[in-house]
Amino acid sequence: MAVPVLTIDGPSGAGKGTVSRLLAKRLGWHYLDSGSIYRSLAIAVLQQNVALDDVAAIVGVAQALVLAFECGDELVVKLNGLDITAQLGLETTGNAASIIAALPEVRAVLLQKQQDFKQLPGLVADGRDMGTVVFPDAAHKVFLTASSIKRAERRYKQLKEKGIDANLMGLAKDIEERDRRDRERATAPLSMASGALFIDSSEITIDAVITQILDFIR
């Protein structure tokens, strides 16, 4: 039986994770936060003091990566049995993830780990290349974006709520730099999949985004 897949790609802070988690719950489907895999790898690489340009060593860390995901209201991620959820959302983690995600050898190792999430009754997958590379045959594809200043403001609020110190201008600069790297890399760059529904969430609520996607897939 074919497994229905809904892919939601877009830049950092567009709301992909929030919307995907809520949709997965609503539909009773599995959820893949592919960014958390790249982020977990970045944490493992940094923990082991591997340089971010040492391709062979990073591939070794990727091959040995043992991750467990617990998807409740918040996603809990364990690396080799240890809870790394608190480190996942840090900007340093996101920036390191984006640097190693540009390496084709790393993407090749992580491809199957992501495809393994495709299981009945269905999957909502969020990331940068879900609809273009990882699940090109997905039944439904969405490209979710928002202006970079809105995304920086949302990220700022999110970090402050977690008690993490943040600087709005610094966040905006980091987000733009990460977007540029994700869009311009040679392998699996961030781009809109053909046939995807385009949504700009700058001026609309999370509920409105969810309604548009549910209307699209029904």
Q: In what order do the strands lie in the sheet with 75-79?
A: 67-71, 75-79, 82-83
Structure token digits, residue 73:
């209201």
* Binds ligand ATP by CB under 6 A, chosen from 6, 7, 9, 14: 14
201 binds, among ligand ATP, ligand L45E5XJ5, none (CB under 5 to 8 A by kind): ligand ATP
Rounded distance between C-alpha atoms, residue 138 and residue 147, angstroms: 26
Nearest in space to 163 (alpha carbons), one of 93, 76, 86:
86
CB 152 within 8 A of CB 13: yes
Tell me the number of residues near ligand L45E5XJ5 by CB under 6 A: 14
Give the pairing type, strands 30-33 and 123-127: parallel
- DSSP letter at 201 equals -
Site residues for ligand ATP, window 137-156 (CB under 6 A)?
Answer: 154-155
Question: Using the rule CB under 6 A, is 127 a contact of ligand L45E5XJ5?
Answer: yes
* Binds ligand L45E5XJ5 by CB under 6 A, chosen from 21, 30, 39, 154: 39
* Binds ligand L45E5XJ5 by CB under 6 A, chosen from 29, 38, 135, 156: 38
Rounded to a whole number of angstroms, the minimum distance from the CB of residue 96 to ligand L45E5XJ5 is: 9
CA dihedral 84, 87, 88, 94 (to 10 degrees): -140
* Binds ligand L45E5XJ5 by CB under 6 A, chosen from 21, 24, 182, 193: 182
98 binds, among ligand ATP, ligand L45E5XJ5, none (CB under 5 to 8 A by kind): ligand L45E5XJ5
CB 137 within 8 A of CB 152: no
Is 132 annotated as ligand-binding? no
Chain contacts with ligand L45E5XJ5 (rule: CB under 6 A): 12, 34-35, 38-39, 94, 97-98, 101, 127-129, 178, 182
